Structure 1
Amino acid sequence: MSSGTDRGRCRDSRNPTGNTTTGPSASDSVGSLLAAIANLIANGLRILSFSDKRQWGPDEHEQVHALEDALDEARKDFQELSPLVNGQLQYEADRTHASLEELRALRDKFHTHIDCLRDWSRSGGPIDPTWVRDTHILQRDLHLAQYRAARRIFASGQESTSRCLGAFLVHRKQRDWATRQVAGVEEGAYQKRYLEELRACNRVGSFQRFGDEDIAFVCDFCDGHLIWEDLDRMPSVRTAHEDATWPAAPAAPVSPTGGNPQWQATGFSHSKHEEKQVVFAPEAIANHIAPHPGDWQARLLCPICEAEAAKPQDQDDEEYVWRPDNIFDDIPAFQEHLEWQHTTTTTIPAPTGNNCILM
């Protein structure tokens, strides 16, 4: 823009009102709103392509790349999420109220953002460098909005599980591994599996430092937070390796002692740098539940109790299914349950070397 006043007006309109919004429509759907947003981004690229490039500097080129990245990621998310919710048609046609409200607001923000570019192309002068930052913020918001829309569709069609879609994807990966029956697994194979588990987790969310001492995982699908308290770094391997064959339970590898499943990982406290046992991150992530409306912390279910509950408890009553109270509010409550109910009686040696990373 040619003046500081104009630039301030565009930045302040990130929460637009009045003529900059198109308003709700009875024909709105997830698909139509995503298409509208994609068209707005494409219009922004078109505006830049037709502008006078003789005075362009790094900011203008960076703005083009930012819009291209936003469009590419939106397209990639749409293609990857559609198969998870029974296909593209169901994803496009979804009219869940929360998803429509979120995408309408996001469409209006993109509308205002592109209007700023249009005004700049008419007025001339250097582009506002802060618009690149705004584009990246909108790109992230669009990524999360698509993930949350897919999670809502997934949740509405599930009767057998209360897992968040992000948890389900990690859990499904673990279940796939559980079907492999491999004899004589070597040390490197376990290390590879642990890294694959963590990569699966990083595809559905992110790890970050939470306060001074804690580590959090934030799920992109439900925005639920899992908090490991007083932890210096997140352990990248379990405390002990499984048996020579892959475990029968997908989310609860069997302990080498032949006892209860091995869910532990060995880390170090941030406050005192003392060794401590924690829940291995993929175990928690694969079994988290979306927070209650208005809450921020994800809940967890116990996969071991869940597996036991699926079995008939009496030979004379094959239809009876035991339903334990196995939903926990946070990681400490989940770990306390595992320590009391699903821990081996034999002491398991900790792994040697530094096996901790912060993802």
Structure 2
Amino acid sequence: MEHIYVDHAATSPMHPKVIEKMVSIMNEDFGNPSSIHSFGRSARQIIDVARAAMADSIGAHPNDIIFTSGGTEADNHAIFGVAESYKTKGNHIITTQIEHHAVLHACEQLEKQGYEVTYLPVDKNGRVSVPDIKAALRDDTILVTIMYGNNEVGTLQPISEIGQALANHQAIFHTDAVQAYGLVKIDVKDAGIDLLSVSAHKINGPKGIGYLYVDKDVKLPSRLYGGQQERKRRAGTENVAAIAGFLEAVNIAQKEMDNKKEFFNQLRSVLMETLDDYKINYSQNGSLDETLPHVLNLSFPGTNVEAMLVNLDLAGIAASSGSACTAGSIDPSHVLVAMYGKDDERLLNSIRFSFGLNNTVEQIKQVGKETSKIVQRFTNK
């Protein structure tokens, strides 16, 4: 039985070229980047080249990039850092109800420290309203943190419009771009983004490495204390091999972005067409417009999400019910709750399929076929 992985929004397999690059670096460049001898200088050059390329990928300056252990640390660094640096200007933060838990839980922690947080609703497509953001802004608002693309339903937020709305306000604009980076063209200057979080393992890079973009005018203290790495903004010896692998993944993603978007759109169509061929009753959570191309979240009336996932796994198909960070939880998706309300049946019967490296059209047809058979068993149709 072929095992088919359609959970790339949770994590993605490392690209063979990434693995090859990392093994090469681990074999040849073991020096500490802070050392002044040739071994250290060689490691430092790897980091400098990577920093420049990653900055270029979002229209930023190399000095604006801070390497982190991934998206969660980048989100936490941005949110807690702004709260600390700008507390004399206010204590109000704006976010949405559908953010990743790295953002939501950080905001909840700040509430315990006396900050006020406004959690904005979204429409039935999972999209926040720019007028709602404007209405929520206050003189003491210091941070607006809204994700670029949602990890569960794929919805892209109106990031540029939000940036424009904040152009003449003191609030710092942060976006978690972990799911969008590598699939959507991002220009932080054009979009008015002050802080942006990225993680390598979503784009076929290694786990445990990411970066935070910080505009030069944003004050952000270090969250770790130790050495003077990352221009004194993030202490700790840099993970040179992971950064090199990250760079390889970024280069591949930037080069293949347009083709991947087109192919993933094709895979989404193939999956839905196969379900249609089997006359399966389903609906999409979110919209085919303004969405990440690799994420497709579908509701199957008359089924149960846990039973569906178990049966899909037995059929060799790895899918998901949504956020990987809540795997095993019996709580419904907070994203779907925000979109449809806590009593909607879609909270109990929705599956996320997300596409990526190594997926083929034939695989996705098989996913559609097996999914259809399982749904038919559950609904006796």
Give the TM-score category using the shorter length. under 0.3
RCO higher in structure (CA 8 A, sep ≥6): 2
Identify the structure with the greater helix proportion: 1
The structure with more radius of gyration: 1
TM-score by length of 1: 0.24
